[in-house]
A and B are shown apart, each in its own frame.
Chain A
Amino acid sequence: MEYVVITFLCLGILLYFLLGGADFGAGIIELFTSTKNRSRTRKTLYQAIGPVWEANHMWLIIAIVILFVGFPKIYTTMSVYLHIPLLIMLIGIIARGTAFVFRHYDAVKDDMQWLYNRIFRYSSFITSLFLGIIAGSLISGHIDTNSNDFLSAYVFGWLNWFSIAVGFFTVALCGFLAAIYLIGETKDTHDKQRFIKKAEYMNIGAVVFGAMVFIAAHFDNIPLIDWVFKNTVGLTAIVLASLSLILLWYLLIKGKTKVLRILAGFQVTMILVAISYAHFPNFIRLKNGNAMSLFETVGPEKTIYSLGLALLLGSILILPFLGYLFYKFQKKEE
């Protein structure tokens, strides 16, 4: 059963990165859209993510529930030592979710819209930035559980070059995913062109920040290069990601949007695999050289058994329903 639970955990995190990330990205795209195109972007965006954004964010809840039920030590270590970035991310999640709903359901469209829009855009940016920072911190090996000093215990664990680089990398990836998603959501050729442009910029951004991640890793003494290039899975993943990058650009220029989504999702998945495979099942790397492994911190047997059962049962109920939701609202325009 623990394999079932771990699979769901990984799946939850991955889907949150892909779907939730595309949601955040939508706000980031809006942030980087010129004023004259914003209201058009907003409309496409609402149609595209309106029906699904709440479901997308459930993956975060699933992942976090699995963590605190099945791997309580990991959950509590994260919440003690990454308290501040988690808090900021949460505030971002609250702000963007409510602003997104409020701006649509405010019966009077007036100056308040200005405020909702601002909040939505900036909080989308901040949330994905800190999501990345948290992810980076988990593997950065800067989390210091032995320190009694406020700064080194609660701040430097996440405030370091590597984590920040991963943060910006995540922002670019989210924007990229959203742009790709939006291309398929609009029928207007002019809008399509705009989203294709956005996808290109975001992709360039992702490559640049990706390189920064490696540079930052070098300065922070994180053996990122070894992780990625010194094992077959990591290497294969990164090669596949790069190959799909070439194909992706080709398709972008050609304007073929159908395969793009799958390819973009695949690419991001490969990146996640490349970064995390080398130290799986370790979930958190600590400053003292130890690591918290999923297998070693796993909860008692009965708990894992019932958790796994609940997850399997849940997915039987959820997945067909969710698939139908996506299917139904994909088809709506046709």
Chain B
Amino acid sequence: MDDFLAARSQMALSLGFHIIFSCIGMVMPFFMAVSHYKWLKTNDEVYKNLTKAWSKGVAIFFATGAVSGTMLSFELGLLWPKFMEHAGPIFGMPFSLEGTAFFIEAIALGFFLYGWNKLNKWFHWFTGMVVGVSGLASGILVVAANAWMNSPAGFDFVDGKYLNIDPIQAMFNKAWFSQALHMCLAAFTATGFAVAGVHALMILRNQNKEFHLKAFKIAAVFACIGALLQPISGDISAKDVAKRQPAKLAAMEALYTTEKPAPLLIGGIVNEKDRTVKGAIKIPGALSFLAHGNFKAEVKGLDKIPKDEQPPVAITHYAFQIMVGIGTLLMLISLIYFFFLLRKKELLNKRWLLKLFVFAIPLGYIALEAGWVVTEVGRQPWIIYGIMRTKDAVTPMPGIAYSFYIFSAIYISLSVVVTFLLYRQIKMVPILYNNKKSEV
């Protein structure tokens, strides 16, 4: 394996892994806080047990997210030293703030996990909330740093030198808001559907129905709100990308030639050699509308982009299709769920609805990963859009392939172990929480 490809694969793997784990660690504290709140308000032991059960999940994911995040802060330099040498001082601001947010999160988590019966109960609840809020803040800050790579700001690039550096301006670059919003909603949606689905599965199996039903409800509401809001944020993102990174938008839609009006392509098989797309459904003018809010507007195709500045089209296009497809599906499930919740409560326990949620367990995360593929692959060949190429940033050290193999092994085994642990946690629910008296 060629070193450059190995470095990219290792980075993709590390990020892909970290994203899932940190999303769970960032969203589940909110589920936990709701359940904890209900326990404090209603004194219903089930909520207390649920809070504890979830907090164990949070502990597992937080630790995995924390170590994989530590890894990443080193890997940035290990794999992309040239990038970090120049980018560090410019886009470092969100990272230094993220350090604070993450530190607070770790401290609050220490309080929360070990604070049962030791702290004032509302202070204890508050520490749980702090975990969630600071986790979310960390997420937003890291995404702001990534947004800078898509939309470099806060410096002047003169003769290959980075001058007049302004880290605050860099942090509030043009892409940070749309990316952070999209990511936060995605985190809630994906985690919500995954958690709701797991509990739905347990309800279907008739185990500890009361426990799982309460859990399901909390997670499902978060998931469905997220899924319903996501299209709005997607629209903001699309218009933003169209303005800032026409090459990425063209790759997302496999738009090889500039068109006016441009059709929206759904599906289709991309042939990168002939630069054609076969078998896609075309909706005339729709891309013009999505990108520019006008059915007649011109959309820049890849023909307007220099050859050596075009991102890989097939991967970007497929990933985009997967993301949008799943997003739409989850939105439909959410509509059904809310319709039942508000109008037809008697249908909520229908087995087919629960099965739908079980089916959706992995979907949110698949869409989330696909979305990151779109934004990262769609930025190529640039590591800092328009400024530095990815291949110029890679480490001079040879043999990165081996490090990639080691990392693959580690991440695969970690994923296996974490899944195994969760399976065991869930399997133990009847034994740990069946008797109504609480244990510590």
Contacts and interface: CB of A to CB of B under 8 A. Distances in A.
Interface residues of B, number: 68
Nearest to B399: A150
Contacts, number: 198
B95 A65 contact: yes
B88 A299 contact: yes
A314 B105 CA distance: 12
A313 B98 CA distance: 12
Contacts of B78: 79, 83, 86-87
A11 interface: no
Contacts of A313: 100
Given A55-B110, A61-B99, A105 B64 contact: no
Contacts of B108: 321
Nearest to B57: A105
B340 interface: no
B112 to A, nearest CB: 10
A87 B77 CA distance: 11
A90 B114 CA distance: 27
Q: Is the interface of A mostly helix, strand, loop or mixed?
A: helix
A107 B71 CA distance: 27
B418 to A, nearest CB: 8
B324 interface: no
A251 to B, nearest CB: 29
Given A54-B109, A94-B68, A154-B397, A310 B63 contact: no
B110 A54 contact: yes
Nearest to B425: A107
**Best-surrounded residue of B60, B75, B96 (most CB of chain A within 10 A):** B96
Contact of B118 (A100, A303, A332): A332
A85 to B, nearest CB: 11
Interface string A87-110: 100110111011011100111100
B376 to A, nearest CB: 20
Given A60-B70, A61-B73, A154-B397, A314 B99 contact: yes
A322 interface: yes
Interface stretch (A67-75, A200-208, A230-238): A67-75
Interface of B: 56, 59-60, 62-64, 66-71, 73-78, 81-82, 84-86, 88-90, 92-93, 95-100, 102-104, 106-111, 113-115, 118-119, 165-168, 395-399, 403, 406, 410, 414, 417, 421, 424-425, 427-428, 432
11 contacts: A61-B69, A72-B85, A80-B77, A98-B67, A102-B60, A102-B417, A105-B60, A108-B428, A302-B166, A311-B96, A314-B96
Given A72-B86, A90-B75, A318-B104, 17 more contacts: A54-B106, A55-B103, A55-B106, A55-B107, A61-B103, A65-B73, A69-B89, A72-B89, A76-B82, A86-B78, A90-B70, A90-B71, A91-B410, A106-B424, A154-B397, A310-B100, A314-B100
Interface of A: 50-52, 54-55, 57-58, 60-62, 64-66, 68-70, 72-73, 75-76, 78-80, 83, 86-87, 90-91, 93-95, 97-98, 100-102, 105-108, 150, 153-154, 299-300, 302-303, 306-307, 310-311, 313-314, 317-318, 321-322, 325, 328-329, 332
